[in-house]
Structure 1
Amino acid sequence: MTSPAAAGIPGREGGRPQGRRDLLLAAALLAIPVGEALGLTIAFDSGAATDPLLGGLVSRSHAILEVAIVMATVGSLLGMRSREGGGGPFGLPAPARWSWAFFVAHLVALSLFTWMTSVVLSGGPRPAAEGLAWAAGWSLAAVATLLGWVAIWVEPARWRPLAVRGPGLFLALGAAGLAAWGSGRIAEGLWVPLSRLTLEAVHLLLRLYAPDAVCDPGLRLVGTSRFSVEIAPACSGYEGIGLVLVLTACFLWICRRELRFPRALLLIPAGVSLIWLANVGRIATLIVIGSLGHEGLALGGFHSVAGWLAFTAVGLGIVVVARSSPYFSRDADLARLPARESPTEPYLLPIMAILVVAMASRGLVAGFDVLYPLRVVAGGAMLLAYRPRDARLRPSASWQAFALGGAAFVAWMALESLGRGGPPPEALARVTPPPMSPALLAGWLAFRVLGSALVVPVAEELAFRGYLTRRLIAPDYWNIPVGTYSHSSFVISSALFGMLHDRWAAGVAAGMIYAAALYRRGELSDAVAAHATTNAMIAAAVLITGDWSLWA
C-alpha cells in the first residue's frame, strides 16, 4: 500500500524520528483499548453471571485483558522503534502507516462484544450446549475486537509475512504479557508485609481533608468517621507496580540504542515510586468520594477506573518523558523537530478525543454528567491543533444546507415520537441537571450547547463525511476529492454514523441527510452546517420545553 509520504502528500518521512507528536499519537491509540476496558469494567459486573461456565470465563477475562494490553503496548513500542530505524522488528518491514480505517471495524466488533457480554451476564444457568455456544461466540467477538485494534497499527496484508518470518516477535510479546501478569500477582503478595507504609501515607493525606481520619494497619483499614475501607490484596493497587516494572523493562530493552545508560535505569525506581504515589492518591480519593455520600461511585466505577488510569498514565508518561528528555534520550533533540502533518490525524483525532473523555467521565461521575465541558475543551483543542488541508472546511455554506439540517431535525423528532419508551433512566440522569446555582447551570448549558451545535458537528463530519466516505472508496483516500459519491460508502458511512448514537434509526437518517448536503456541492462545510443546524434546533427544543431526554 502506498504511504502518504510516497504519494507526495504531507505525511511521515521514512527513516526520520517523528518526535513528540508521533509519540503522543501512539499514546492516544494505546488509550483506545484501555478506555474500552474501563467502560466494560464499569458497565458489567462479572459476578452477576449465574451460569458457572460463562461466569468463570468472564471473571478470568481481567487477567487476559492485562496480558493483551501489555502485549499491545510492547508491540507498539517495537513498531515505533522499527519505523524510526527504517526496518521492522525482528527483520520485518515496518508498517507504512497506521491503518485508521480498521478503527471502524474495531468499533463494530466492540459493539458486538458489548452486546454479547450483556447477554452472557444475564439470565440463569443455561444448558451445556447453549452455554458452550455463547462462550465460543463471546470469545470470538473478543478476539475480533482485539484484531480490529491490531489492524489499526498493522494492516492485515502484513500479518501473514509477520507470522511466517517473525515467530520470535509473538514469543517476545507473549513473554512480556505473561511476565506482566506474573509480576502483578507477585506484587499483590507483597501487600500484607508492606501495607503499613501505604496505609500510613493514605492516612496522612486524608488528614488534610478530615482531621478525624482513622487508620488500623493491623486490620488494613483506613478511612474517615463517615466512610472507611478494608484494603484487600487484590484491591491494593500493588499489581500496578508489577505491570509498570515489566513495561519499563521492555521499554529500556527496545530503545536501548537511543537511551543513555546507566542513567536510563533511573526510570525503574521512578516508575515504581510514581505508581505507588498514584495508588496512595487513588485510595485517598476513593475514601473522600465515599465520605461525601457517594459510596457506590467510590467502590464501583472510580475503584476500577482510577487503577487503570494510573497504570496507563505512569507507563506512557515514562515513555514520553524518557524519549523527549535529553537527560535520558540521545535523540531528544531530533524529537523536537516539528512533525509534518499526517493526512488522517485531523479527521479522526477530534472525535477520538471527545469519545475518550466521554468514556472517562462515565466512569468517574455517576449520574449527571458534570464533566461534559471537558469534551468540548478536548474536541475543540484537537480541532485547533489539527486542520485538514484537503477538506476545504471553510465558513461558507449554502442555504440549502441549513434547510437539510432542518429536515434532519424533523426526521429526528418524528422518529423520537414513534419510540416514546424514552431513554434508560441512567442516560436520562446524565443530562438532567440536579439543583445547582444559576451560574453553574448557565455555564454547563453554555458548554452543552456549544459542544452539540459546533464542536461535535465539526468533529463528526470530519470523521464520517470527510474521512470515512472516501476511505471506503479507496485506501489512498487523499487522492479522492471530498464529496465523491459511491453507493457503498454512502450507505455504510451513514449506518456507522447511526451506530454512534443511542437513537440509531434517527442517526442513520440524519447521516444520510448530512451526506446529501455534502454531495450536493462537494463542500464539507455544507455537511457541517446541516449537522450544526439539527443539533442547534434540538438544543433549542430542550431549552424551551425542558425535555432533557432529547439530549440523552
Structure 2
Amino acid sequence: MQISRTASLRHPALWIALLCAVEVLALASVYQFAVPLECHETGFNLACRGLRSLAARALAMMAAGLLLVWAWPGPVARFLAAGDAARTGLRWPLLHGLGVLLLLAPAVATLLPGAALDIRAAFAPVAVVLAAGALAAALGALFWLAPAAEWWRLLSHDRYAPLAILAAAALVPDLANLVLPLWESPILVRMTFDAVQAYLALSSGAVVSDPAGYVIGLEGFTVHIARQCSGVEGVALVSTFVLFYGALFRRDLHLWRYALTVLPAAIAASWTLNIVRIGVLIQLGASVSPELAVNGFHSYAGWLFFTLLALGVIGVVHALPWLHRTARAGATVPLSRDVSAALTLPLAVMLILTVLQHAFFPHPEIGYPLKAIAMALALAVFWRVWRSFDWKVDGVALAAGCAVGFGWLLFDRSGEGDAGLSLLLSQMTAASLYSWIAFRILGTVLLVPLIEEAFFRGFLLGRLDMRAGTPSLIAILGSSLLFGLLHGRWVAGTVAGLVFALVYLRRRSLPDAVQSHVAANLVVAIGAAATGDWQRI
C-alpha cells in the first residue's frame, strides 16, 4: 500500500504529528527563554537534566519516524489506515491536551503577575507535574494516532527493527553526552575557533578571541563556548541518523560508497552548520540582545537545526541512484551520468575541504589551492552532465549578477580584512603569491558558482517545492536562507540567494543562475584585487 503525496498531505496523522512537533518546540522555547531553568540551581540536577532532555529525545524520535516512513511505506500505510478506522471519541485528544496543560502549568504559575512560584526552590513537586504531563501528552498522542495493537504490529515489523530504531533515537542525547569529551581535542578546538573567527572577521570586522579559554566574540560581547555548545553533539546526531539510514536500507545501498562519501560529508556539513550557528548568535549578542544570544547557545534550536540537517542529508542520499544497487526508475545510472549526484556531491567535497583547510594550514585560506583543485576534480567527474545543459549567455542573468556583486561590495562592513591572512600572503614568494591568487580567482569566479548553484538552485529549490508548476514562497525563501547561512554575511548572502533563485526560475535554467553567480563573484574579485583584500572572496 502506498499513500499519494496529495493524500498524505491531507491525512489526519500528519496534522497530529505536526501539532506534536509544534508543541515540543513551543514548550522548549518557553522553558528556555521565558522561564530560564538552570538545573544545577534546583538541587535535583539529574532529574532536571532528564526532564530537559525530553524535548531533544522527542525531536530525534520524530525524525526517526520519518525514516521509518521512507523505509517501510507499506506497513506504515496499513498502520495509518487502521488508525483512521479506530479514531473515534475524544478521550485520547483530551488526555494529550491535559498533558500539555500540565507541562505549561509551572511556567504559567511563574509568569503570571504576582506569581510566587520559584521553580528552582520548588523543583521536586514541579518535576512530578512535568513528568505526569509528559507521560499524559505522549500517551494521548500515540493512541490518538492508532490503537495499541496497531502500534505493536508496526513496531514488531522486520524483527522489531522499528522499535530498535526509535529506542536508539531516544538515546541520541545520551550518545551526544558520551562524545562531548572530544571537544577537548586540540585539533577540534583549533578548527572550530579558527572557523568562527574567520566567519566573524568576514562578516563583522574585529574579533575578540581567546582559544585557550574557549572565549570568542565581538567588541562588547564575548561568550565562553562550553562543551555543550561545541557542535560535537550535532556531529553525533547527524552521524547517528546517517547510520540509521544505512541500517534500514542496507540491502539496497552500495555500503562502501555510502560509508566513504556520505558519512564524511554529513560530518563536514554538521561542523559547518555549527560554525554558522555560533557566529550568528555572537552577532545577535553584539547587535541585538545579549540575553537572546546566551540563551540561544543553550537552547533546543541547535537540536532542531541538526535534526533538519540530518533529514536533509538523508533526503539527498535517497535521491542518488549511484548509492543504490537498484535505481528508483529504470536501469542503474553510472556516477558520471547521475544528475542528482552531480548537483550535490561537489558541494560535499567543498565542505570537506573546508574542514581540512582549518585542520592543516596556519590560516585556512592559505590552503585554498588544494580546495580549488579538489572542486575542479569533483566537477570534472560529471562533465557529461554539465554538457547536457543549454549554456547560452543571458543578459538579464549577467546584469542581475553584477548588481549582486556591486551590492556585496557596497555593503561590506568587514573593516580592513584579515590581518593574519595578509601577513602570510606578504611572506610568500612572488611566484607562490601569484599562483595562490590564480587559484583563488579560478575557484571563486568559476568553480564555486557552479557548485553552489547546482545544489541550492538545481537540487534544493526543487526538493523544497511541494507544489507542481510555480514554486512556493517557502521553497524560494528556504533555499535562499540556507544559501545565506553558508556565507559569512548571512543577510547579504540570503538576498543574493533570492536574486539567483529568481534568475533560475525566470526560465528554469541552471546555466542562467550559474552565470549570474559568476558575474557577481567576478565583480567582487575585481574589488578584492583593487584593494588587496582577498578575504572578501
Q: TM-score, normalised by structure 1?
A: 0.48
Structure with greater contact order relative to length (CA < 8 Å, sep ≥ 6): 1
Q: Which has the higher helix share?
A: 2
